[in-house]
Structure 1
Amino acid sequence: MTMNPLHHALLSAQPDEAPFLSTLDGETISYGALRAKVARTAAALAAQGVKPGDRVLCQIAKAPEGLILYLATVFAGGVFVPLNTGYTPAEIDYFLDDAAPALLILDASTQAARGVAQARNVPLASPSDLTETSLAPLPPCPRKPDDLAAILYTSGTTGRSKGAMLTHENLISNARALQAEWHYQPSDTLIHALPIFHTHGLFVATNITLAAGADMIFLPAFDLGDIAAALPRATTMMGVPTFYTRMLGDDRFERAAMAHMRLVISGSAPLLAETHAAFQARTGHAILERYGMTETNMITSNPYAGARKAGTVGKPLAGVSLRLARPDDQGIGAIEVTGPNVTPGYWRNPEKTAETFAPDGWFITGDLGQIDADGYLSIVGREKDLVISGGFNIYPKEIETLIDALPGVLESAVFGIPHPDLGEAVAAAIVLRPGATADAEAILAALAPNLARFKTPRSLHFLPELPRNTMGKVQKNELRRNFTGAS
């Protein structure tokens, strides 16, 4: 094998002069410049001692250099390990121990981890040390499709973070499937406002852009002013539901301003049907919702051409198979998947790897789903979030949908807390709309005609906002911890 699969798939074909990236302050990078920067940065990594198979940890603020470091690490045969910029030195210490990297890359914003790295004798570098180099370009390191390209650490909501291993083939197959599913073309320009330490911004947004030979407007973070400034040049946008709820609160994002856009995509957290409807009414765009995980890349998508059903995440991508294990009498079952997109397992964690795969090799997502008559998947919730009260299975999503539809409610999260008699009791955290007043009795009375008594929350907790991780997912483990004993 003389080829580097990811390099060949994502960086080998585009014309030198074609644009790859631009920023609002005027920086531009063409595909020719990108290839040159990646090859020289790969040489700098090799000069730092990075060898094929070595892990390169990177904790830096979002910048174009982050994408160059990702591609250069894989180009050099290494394994890229991006770290959330919010991780503390104590958390970095765990990752250094677990990943055993050959190099840790820090910038001015993440220097707090320097002492931890020095204590462990891990070599350090800054982005400029590696990307601003005059070294001769390094040829792409030969790798096989099943060689590792990246490790992404999960958010660790149920214990220590696990390193999901992702191969060249995992990433390439998913980029190609998404490119075909979403009709991505060289003429597309993406608004990139996502973080790049997560699969959504690093792999979905970046790899599909590269695979298509398209370009992106690279924003440091989500900012309504920046989005509005980038919008006239864009054809596509990817975001989390929070992006779209905030855009709905800004008069600049209306039908005329977005008439030229081709595609608007949401993922990483559930999109409320109400948000889907409101956004379509305001802009004329039906948001395309898709479903994936760190360990599997993207699994399903609503169609580009065809009905984009609010509250569903569509059908499996080409090459991906999905099944519902142990369905109940409502057709709700545990979502399991197989395909070239699925991780081979967790880094240095064979026990957790074994737990996460069914005996026949299908990956157990931990999500619960239901498939409608048209084959569209709806995510009912996490299997670990299933509430079992008095022997009854209770699906939080059903209750959340009813609460969210009530006047004055912005959003809710339903979860289980220990109960001495029932095993678990249903609890709900509720965020009200501005100006609405908290009235627990009125909410419970409104739920009563549509909800069996055993499903009715025994406690309501009114919060200014729901606890979320950096990708917008509600942290129900935090709610359980905070409100245990409140039933």
Structure 2
Amino acid sequence: MPSHNLYALFRNAFGKHLERTAIQTDDGARYSFADLDQQSARMACWLESLGVAPGERVVVQVEKSVPALIFYLACLRAGVVYVPLNTAYQAAELSYFLESAEPRLFVVDPAKAQALGELAARLNVPHVATLGADGQGTLIDAAQSQGTDHAIRDVPADAVAAILYTSGTTGRSKGAQLTHRNLSSNAQTLHALWGWEPGDVLIHALPIFHVHGLFVAVHCALLNASTMLWMSKFKPQQALEWFAQATVFMGVPTLYVRLLQEAALTPERCAHMRLFISGSAPLLVDTFREWQERTGHTILERYGMSETSMLTSNPYHEADGPRIAGTVGRPLPGVELRCMNQEQHPCAVGEVGGIEVRGPNVFPGYWRMPEATAKEFTSDGWFRTGDVGQVDANGYVTIVGRSKDLIITGGYNVYPAEVESYLNEIDGVVESAVIGCPHRDFGEGVVAVVVPQPGARLNAEHLIEAVKAQIAGFKVPKRLFFVKELPRNVMGKVQKKALRETYAHIFDGQ
């Protein structure tokens, strides 16, 4: 009977290609699939020597490196729950995560070892190890003393493989539990849907504490026994050089914007590439179109989240339909998606509503938060994503925004993405963010924050008038501000909570 362990799925895929290069780094180092297998075995043996049992948690906050990825594989094969944390989190946030996860082991950057070691001691974390961006640390030293004879733990399909803590923009961060079944089903679906082929080479330019970089990119490559060209940090010039030997690139919109700033980005430079994928944040229509014009390639945009991995994708094969700018495509095979109105009735075609999903990739619930889990699932088993969107007659999904970003002004609903789409079409506008701020008369007033193109002479009143001619009056921004750039998280998502805090008092006294 086959093992349900996700690592066993990968091992079966690359087991016939152990001498093939699995990872080539930007500094020239090479790791074969045999290296990944043997080094992850040593690390798994070390975990077991510490007494870390299947189902127990290991919290990791380290810089991106190949050994850090191998340690993730070691946790999988040992049946240990992997809990990656954003490297930007500070002590107060880390204290919460450690108290919540109750890990047996905390892996940290050597430069932070003393302070985080003291924090771990206060919170009764039994073990602390270090792992640096250079791949060195006490974890590596300890693992080298172990053998490579490690039997992959057979775990139930519904055993938790990883816990991803949400960003916590609306309250306490919640730990989304992802099972071996969740992750394996999503990997196999994406591998088939995106047409992975023998000889495909992936440029890995993303962080590995997030769904996109750790699960989507890495899992697809491992399942295809593909070489990964590995960037510790994104460098546009390096990506352009690698296009000649790679076939697949996955990035957030920010990476595509940075590549478009390079004069060397041409159709000839991209001739060897098969597929460009974008996700984790909305891709501007202008970026989508400019990429087509500059490279001859059409970006494939998809949609997912921490609790579900990937949910939808624009088509890969032309026969399945076009890739449409501004949409995230259709639900993946095996994934059901519906939009529900405020009365919890299904939306008509094109009607905006709350997006709900179910499928083998959808997580079973939040770590030790039964109330939050119950709140986010319907009585018939659908997960409320918190996103607002619509589905057209061809089944394509368009994300309108987050439900928490919905603006209610004078009793009317305003979806920020709609207003942003009109602002972004105005000459001289790079991008915009629309938010609601407290207003004495209307409850919330619509506010726009706009990034102008360098050298553009834009006038706030003129922009407001331009929008007023196209949409209902209650949707028109009452105030508009210009900024050099919008606040974003590491994956490129605009942080509207930060904007709401910045402009919270602009209507005071009105």
TM-score (normalised: structure 1): 0.97
| CA shift in 2, pair 1:397/1:328, >3 Å | farther
On the 8 A contact 1:60/1:109 being kept in 2, the answer is no
The counterpart of 2:139, out of the listed 103, 117, 130, is: 130
Equivalent residue, structure 2, for 1:455: 475
Match of 2:23 among 18, 21, 24: 21
Tell me, yes or no, if structure 1 residue 356 matches structure 2 residue 356: no
Q: Post-superposition shift, 1:329? A: 9.1
The verdict on how the C-alpha distance between 1:403 and 1:282 changes in structure 2, with shifts beyond 3 A counting, is same
Helix, strand or coil for the counterpart of 1:13?
helix
Which residue pairs with 1:98 in the alignment?
100
- 1:182 corresponds in structure 2 to 194
- Segment of structure 1 superposing worse, 27-36 or 188-197: 27-36
8 Å CA contact 1:4–1:75 kept in 2: the answer is no
- 76-85 vs 219-228, which deviates more? 219-228
Going from structure 1 to structure 2, the CA distance change for 1:331 and 1:46 (only over 3 Å counts) comes to: same
Which residue is equivalent to 1:417?
437
Gaps of 5+ in 2: 132-136, 342-346
Identify the residue that residue 91 of structure 2 maps to in structure 1.
Answer: 89
Residue number in structure 1 paired with 2:465: 445
Find the counterpart in structure 2 of residue 120 from structure 1: 123
Identity %: 49
Q: After superposing the two structures, state which structure 1 stretch, 154-163 or 116-125, moved more.
A: 116-125
1:57–1:81 contact (8 Å) kept in structure 2: yes
**Aligned 1:152-301 pairs, distance under 5 A:** 152-301=164-313
> SS at 1:72's partner residue?
helix
Aligned residue for 1:161, secondary structure, equals coil
Say whether residues 1:428 and 2:448 are aligned partners: yes
Structure 1: 5+ residue runs without aligned partners? none
Which position in structure 2 is the counterpart of 1:80?
82
Describe the SS at the equivalent of 1:412. Answer: strand
Letter in 2 for 1:422: F
- Give the corresponding residue for 2:134: none
**287-296 or 121-130, larger mean C-alpha shift:** 121-130
Residue 246 of structure 1: how far off its partner (Å): 1.0
| Corresponding residue SS for 2:232 | coil
Report if the CA contact (8 A) 2:58-2:106 is conserved: yes
Show the counterpart of 1:51: 53
Residue matched to 2:337: 322
User: 3-state DSSP class of the match of 1:183?
Assistant: coil
Q: Secondary structure at the match of 2:434?
A: strand
TM-score of the superposition, structure 2-length normalised?
A: 0.93
Q: Tell me, what secondary structure is at the counterpart of 2:365?
A: coil
SS in 1 for 2:448: strand
Pairwise CA distance, 1:114: 2.4
Whether the 8 Å contact between 2:349 and 2:393 is mirrored in structure 1 is no
Q: Distance in 2 between matches of 1:188 and 1:381?
A: 34
Q: Which moved more, 1:440-449 or 1:190-199?
A: 440-449
Task: Name the SS of the counterpart of 1:12 in structure 2.
Answer: helix
3-state DSSP class of the match of 1:246?
helix
Residues in 1 aligned to 2:430 and 2:201: alpha-carbon distance in whole angstroms: 32
Does 1:311 pair with 2:326?
yes
Deviates more, 1:218-227 or 1:323-332: 323-332
Q: Secondary structure at the match of 2:244?
A: helix
Deviation, 1:203, is 0.3
Alignment length (residue pairs): 487
Amino acid in the other structure paired with 1:124: V
Deviations 1:79-121 (A, max 9, x none): 0000111111111111110000000011224434222112223
Is 1:9 the counterpart of 2:9? The answer is yes
Instruction: State the shift of 1:6 in Å.
Output: 0.5
CA distance in 2, matches of 1:266, 1:477: 23
Cα root mean square deviation, aligned: 1.4
Which deviates further from its counterpart, 385-394 or 278-287?
385-394
Which amino acid counterpart does residue 5 of structure 1 have in structure 2?
Answer: N
